[in-house]
Structure 1
């Protein structure tokens, strides 16, 4: 690993880790205030998910796939200003329209709700919809920073968002905030709505200040023409198709979870948040550092370098993610109890979250590998192929959730939905690898198989040891969040030590490379 990438990777990993830690504090604060397993937390989750879904559907998925490659190819300031203007005008109009139609959007995405549930969901959704604009501004400015070699800054920006929401929940509890939907007052609703959206606004503000610090002038152009709207639309059109399909999957899973019983959606959402942590800290940090160089290599048609960079990303992320996946499968229930069995949360909801998290452990490696391979297509400015593969992934995800709801009635259907998500990402990874092999000529398959063939036994040893230690420690500490925390610490430390020893004995060179880069 070259020194520049190692330095950027360290900075991004640290920023992402701090962001995710504060994100956990945010989640824990919301769980304590609104109550995991309570109807209010489910309604808040639905309403706060809608801006993300609308943003991704309208523009977000397209921005993620095309912004950095475009800004690398066209680095002048005027182009970036016009692109930012296009985003602001488009998403500003989207906020106005979706706010007017908030009741219909809630009915579509949440299904049949009680009168009080629907009323609160609509009010919160209208408070949260301005986040769509702030997300777009933040994503565009993050791409400008990345194209200018400042990839680590966007990783730190969510810290501000998380701290604002934590402060909001503290104020909510201070004014007598409740976990009961029926006892929620108008003042408490306003505080939750304004405070949550203010967090996203502050996150965008941090990125504005950081971008200005690079010398970039943030200026909206009255005429945003000149950014190649037709070209962007051609690139983004396929991505929008894939994103639309993904949003259908989200709506289906959310509606099935809400219908399965109180607390199921909150458990599913919190488990997904935990599942995303290793991906964000490890894979995103590595891929974000590689993406500009990957885009330049693709522009030069240097396919051997594209293959080498993708292989390196897969191997360096796999050496960390394989043992983490094993730990999630083994320790998921203990981890969820330690984190969520507090405040207004119900023990059954915490236990359900742990079961979903263990199922998500099966998805971690294929999901991250699939996301890495998608960057290869995006670097070559091919959004059609990822969209087609994305439709397969979405169909499998929906099928898994529907089958789970049919076979496992009640809240535990979300565990089966997580297993279906794992199968969907396995299919996506395998298909993407096969297509890339035809496109690039090779995907460094022999080297990848050799590397993962050494990592997997080490991860299995670590996971088995963690399971034994967890069982023995649990008999001593007993149930409850304190006992679960002791189990996680003891089993995690033992398993992590054994993984390091096994990887050293099996000569896993990627672990040595990663450790050397982080120590440099």
Structure 2
């Protein structure tokens, strides 16, 4: 299967999850708006969700995957099973201890880490503590699921781990539908959603556990022991978790800062949901697939194949994210109005969320490129360098957020986030080039400016189309008209962008497909692939 096919498998499943996520956010916006319950729920959910991202997109898709793949090549499937059991025993024990400690410390954590700005509002503070206490076990479930997802990715079975997150949104949509039917008030909705999050963690863990057994690996529980392999994993995992989850670290810090303003946490969360669609579909798909492919090519001594994988991946992500970034920049307000403005979500909330979303659009290419650059380090088992760059970007984010938030509120925090993202991307790329681990090829250098021109022309056309269809996109127009107009604008924008991109030579589907096909498998690869 070509890399495009693998990206499509993971990206398609992620797209399904994000689309269900949109439905969830639309229902939630109507139910609780950007009020105190929304702030409490989003702040409480941010904490376990941040740790989930650190494990799922950091430690175990960065440190565990290369070690698991190496174990398969060295000792076969039986050796990989033993390694998995060693890691599972340690991870399960640590997670249980962490969950107990965090549950008992939740009031302190909310007061100092999660949302110190809520302390002056006793009701909001108490609700945040209770909601976070209910949801925190989600972390343990998702961290174990992340380990099993890493195993599946190494075995080229991408679908189960990618489709599992869909069930979080499906369950929460069901909870919101029940809340609407039972006429729950905002606080009841918040508590029902929290129990739904915890239930979804167990469902997602069950899905990947079944998939791992179906792949031929049965994991038993072993007494926790720091074996050589486990120690190596821990050495790699800590910096990998920090590096891979830098976006989440910044979001957690920004949630802490944003708790000082009413409705800011919820506004950031609603904008983030939209922005996460292209970031999740493209960025996570590329990071998930590229790391094991790149690690395998480097271990086999195939330097040319590794360079081609890197260049074609960057080409692919820019081809898809540049138009998404341009669209978010120029048409954020009609998108937010269509998705959220109903029920308890007011027109003034639309303006605020749209400002934040437009700023996020400027940072979208940076965060997707980070996903493509980091495997170049992790595949070589270098997790320290990206961690240092991640720490620098966190410093940039915190400094700017503290400076801009008092004057600009949510948009100031969004500006800090995207600036930190570009700093991180530039440092990663510069180091790869300096070490000789990335060699740009001529096709990529020729295509990037042409893709930028195509995205710019598309944005210019959307800008003028928005003025022409201002009434059809306003809140005075009915929902069907707004939906039809937005769909027409999106289709028109796609025609312009893809037309210019292909006509100018910025993209060539046949060439990209040929360039991204995998080399013939070695004997070892043939043995380990299903």
TM-score of the superposed pair, with normalisation by structure 1: 0.90
Query: Does the 8 Å contact 2:58/2:242 carry over to 1?
Result: no
Distance 1:241 1:198, change over 3 A: closer
Residues 425-434 or 286-295, more deviating: 286-295
Give the whole-Å Cα distance in 2 for the aligned partners of 1:25 and 1:37: 17
Residues 114-123 or 447-456, more deviating: 447-456
Counterpart for residue 289 of structure 1: 289
Q: What aligned pairs does 1:323-334 form with structure 2 within 5 A after superposition? A: 323-334=323-334
Query: Does the 8 Å contact 1:83/1:227 carry over to 2?
Result: no
Counterpart for residue 455 of structure 2: 459
Distance 1:247 1:341, change over 3 A: closer
Counterpart for residue 144 of structure 2: 137
Counterpart for residue 110 of structure 1: 115
Counterpart for residue 519 of structure 2: none
Give the whole-Å Cα distance in 1 for the aligned partners of 2:123 and 2:486: 39
Using the TM superposition, give the Cα deviation of residue 442 of structure 1 relative to its aligned residue in structure 2, in angstroms.
4.1
Using the TM superposition, give the Cα deviation of residue 273 of structure 1 relative to its aligned residue in structure 2, in angstroms.
1.8
Counterpart for residue 369 of structure 1: 369
Counterpart for residue 27 of structure 1: 25
Distance 1:137 1:237, change over 3 A: closer
Residues 233-242 or 291-300, more deviating: 233-242
Give the whole-Å Cα distance in 2 for the aligned partners of 1:190 and 1:215: 39
Aligned residues: 504
Distance 1:214 1:245, change over 3 A: closer
Using the TM superposition, give the Cα deviation of residue 231 of structure 1 relative to its aligned residue in structure 2, in angstroms.
1.4
Counterpart for residue 128 of structure 1: 135
Counterpart for residue 418 of structure 1: 414
Using the TM superposition, give the Cα deviation of residue 56 of structure 1 relative to its aligned residue in structure 2, in angstroms.
5.5
Counterpart for residue 65 of structure 2: 68
Identify the match of residue 7 of structure 2 among 9, 26, 29: 9
Counterpart for residue 83 of structure 2: 79
Give the whole-Å Cα distance in 2 for the aligned partners of 1:403 and 1:241: 24
Distance 1:451 1:57, change over 3 A: closer
Instruction: Write out per-residue CA displacement over residues 287-319 of structure 1, whole angstroms, 9 at most, x where no aligned residue.
Output: 322321201123345444332211111001111
Give the whole-Å Cα distance in 2 for the aligned partners of 1:127 and 1:162: 17
Give the whole-Å Cα distance in 2 for the aligned partners of 1:143 and 1:462: 38
Query: Does the 8 Å contact 1:338/1:484 carry over to 2?
Result: yes
Instruction: Write out per-residue CA displacement over residues 191-239 of structure 1, whole angstroms, 9 at most, x where no aligned residue.
Output: 3332221012211111111111112213211244436232122222433
Q: What aligned pairs does 1:433-512 form with structure 2 within 5 A after superposition? A: 433-440=429-436, 442-444=438-440, 446-479=442-475, 482=479, 484-512=482-510
Using the TM superposition, give the Cα deviation of residue 510 of structure 1 relative to its aligned residue in structure 2, in angstroms.
4.4
1:335 alignment partner, SS class: helix
Counterpart for residue 258 of structure 2: 257
Distance 1:65 1:197, change over 3 A: same
Instruction: Write out per-residue CA displacement over residues 233-261 of structure 1, whole angstroms, 9 at most, x where no aligned residue.
Output: 2222433555797666434411332212x
Give the whole-Å Cα distance in 1 for the aligned partners of 2:458 and 2:389: 33
Query: Does the 8 Å contact 2:65/2:154 carry over to 1?
Result: yes
Query: Does the 8 Å contact 1:294/1:306 carry over to 2?
Result: yes
Counterpart for residue 209 of structure 2: 208
1:74 alignment partner, SS class: helix
Any stretches of 5+ residues in structure 1 without a counterpart?
Answer: none
Residues 3-12 or 69-78, more deviating: 3-12
2:331 alignment partner, SS class: helix
Give the whole-Å Cα distance in 1 for the aligned partners of 2:364 and 2:247: 18
Instruction: Write out per-residue CA displacement over residues 86-111 of structure 1, whole angstroms, 9 at most, x where no aligned residue.
Output: 22111111101100001001111201
Give the whole-Å Cα distance in 2 for the aligned partners of 1:252 and 1:234: 25
Instruction: Write out per-residue CA displacement over residues 163-194 of structure 1, whole angstroms, 9 at most, x where no aligned residue.
Output: 11111122223333223xxxx35xx6653332
Distance 1:6 1:55, change over 3 A: closer
Any stretches of 5+ residues in structure 2 without a counterpart?
Answer: 73-79, 517-530
Distance 1:510 1:222, change over 3 A: farther
2:259 alignment partner, SS class: helix
